[in-house]
Structure 1
Amino acid sequence: MSGFKTTLISCQQCGRRIMVRAADTERGSITCSHVGCGAVNILQKPFHYDETIVQGLPLFGQLTYLGSPETQYPLQFGDNVIGTSDTCTVQVARFVHNGRCFISRRHCTLTVVFDKWTGQLRYQLQDGTVDLAMHSVQSSLNGTQLNGTSLQKTEIVDVDNEGIITLGGVDRFRLTHFSIPAAMLDTYKIELDFNPDRTQ
């Protein structure tokens, strides 16, 4: 293991410093050499997942309208602008209640990103849309709620699987995550160099 530098870690049992050598790292553990201790410290090799995995995914989750008729809207990777305009990524119908539609033309943004540490997709919700020309966020007229709580302007929140997004205080949508299978994830695992601060 050329180029390996010896390093010090704190023993998980006695807290005193012990030296980690190349052989310890290859073995994956080190025994504390201090008198009266002898604890075996597991050396955890950190890893993350390669983002190119998203190129082979069949789906990226979906929104289901909980009114009548129940309608499903597939999501794409990246920004999903939701609203009634035909310029939206997710164009929803103009649901009318007492003669009014409460969903804005470009109501909110649901961004699907890949978390390289967990190997799963994350879903981040923001009221309104980003206006690139003006470098600002254009909020919706009637607001966006997640599980009954209103989003503040410029607030971005993670949406859990089966989370309920309400547009305009009236129309409800359920988010269904797409879960990446473990067998697929294993082929995209990238081992990183040993980090002495990440003992198990």
Structure 2
Amino acid sequence: MSGFKTTLITCQQCNRRIMVRTADAERGSITCSHVGCGATNTLTSGFYYDESLLNGLPGFGQLTYLGSTPTTFALQFGHNTIGTSESCVVQLDRFMHNGRCFISRRHCTLTVTFDKWSGQLRYQLQDGVPDPVTGEQQSSLNGTLLNGTPLQKTEIIDVADGEIIALGGADRFLLKHFMINPVMLETYKTELAFNPDSTQ
């Protein structure tokens, strides 16, 4: 374990600081030396993925309309407001069904974030869109469904790759995640200092 620097960790049992030396790191555990404790702290070297990798990505996923004329809409990082309004990030046509459109002007929000622990993008869906003035969540008129199940008004739910989002129950969209290349991901891996994750 060349290049290891001594570091302080907090004992999981007594919550006092103890110093981890090279021999402890190589062994993978350290026994707390404080009087009355003696707990064995297992050491793990965790890691996360640096968010700067987002700067080089060519896209952030897409929604494909599954109607008579399939259309694909690119997603952006952050909040993607979806509806028929010109102010929406994903502006949809007024798809008509027996003379009616079931999609609200500002229907739902699909938020794309980066999970630094898994190194992948995360997609979260919520019915409605925050009001641009008050910030309060305004629900759609006809609801939002994920794989046929209606979302509750305040519910925020993760959407997996290939799942179906339906707006108003009539218009269906396929979500396609952008998958980050594992080889590229490895170059953005950042090691964490040793931390105790359990005691014996």
TM-score scaled by length of structure 1: 0.82
C-alpha separation in 1, matches of 2:80 and 2:175:
13
Residues 185/134 of structure 1: CA separation in 2 closer, same or farther (3 Å cut) = same
SS at 1:197's partner residue? Answer: strand
User: Which residue matches 1:24?
Assistant: 23
- Contact 1:85-1:91 within 8 A present in 2 as well: yes
Fraction of identical pairs, as percent: 59
- Contact 2:162-2:175 within 8 A present in 1 as well: yes
Which of 2, 7, 11 is the equivalent residue of 1:4? Answer: 7
User: Which residue matches 2:38?
Assistant: none
User: Which residue matches 1:13?
Assistant: none
User: Which residue matches 1:15?
Assistant: none
User: Which residue matches 1:142?
Assistant: 142
- Contact 2:42-2:196 within 8 A present in 1 as well: no
Residue 2 of structure 1 and its aligned partner are, at CA, apart by 5.4
C-alpha separation in 2, matches of 1:198 and 1:63:
42
Residue pairs, 1:139-178, within 5 angstroms = 139-178=139-178
Residue 175 of structure 1 and its aligned partner are, at CA, apart by 0.2
Residues 26/3 of structure 1: CA separation in 2 closer, same or farther (3 Å cut) = closer
Residue 60 of structure 1 and its aligned partner are, at CA, apart by 0.4
C-alpha separation in 2, matches of 1:60 and 1:79:
12
C-alpha separation in 1, matches of 2:8 and 2:43:
15
TM-score scaled by length of structure 2: 0.82
C-alpha separation in 2, matches of 1:6 and 1:131:
45
SS at 1:165's partner residue? Answer: strand
Residues 20/146 of structure 1: CA separation in 2 closer, same or farther (3 Å cut) = same
Q: Give deviations 1:79-108, integer Å, cap 9, x for gaps.
A: 000111111100111110000010011100
Residues 98/53 of structure 1: CA separation in 2 closer, same or farther (3 Å cut) = same
Residue 156 of structure 1 and its aligned partner are, at CA, apart by 0.6
- Contact 1:144-1:167 within 8 A present in 2 as well: yes
Q: Quick one: which amino acid aligns to residue 184 of structure 1?
A: M
C-alpha separation in 2, matches of 1:43 and 1:28:
9
In structure 1, the gaps of 5 or more residues are 11-18, 33-40
Residue 135 of structure 1 and its aligned partner are, at CA, apart by 2.8
Residue 30 of structure 1 and its aligned partner are, at CA, apart by 5.0
User: Which residue matches 1:72?
Assistant: 72
SS at 1:24's partner residue? Answer: helix
Residue pairs, 1:4-153, within 5 angstroms = 4-5=7-8, 21-27=20-26, 29-30=28-29, 43-153=43-153
Residues 25/74 of structure 1: CA separation in 2 closer, same or farther (3 Å cut) = farther
Shifted more, 132-141 versus 98-107: the winner is 132-141
Residues 145/6 of structure 1: CA separation in 2 closer, same or farther (3 Å cut) = closer
Question: What RMSD, in angstroms, separates the aligned Cα atoms of the two structures?
Answer: 2.4
In structure 2, the gaps of 5 or more residues are 32-40
C-alpha separation in 1, matches of 2:118 and 2:188:
12
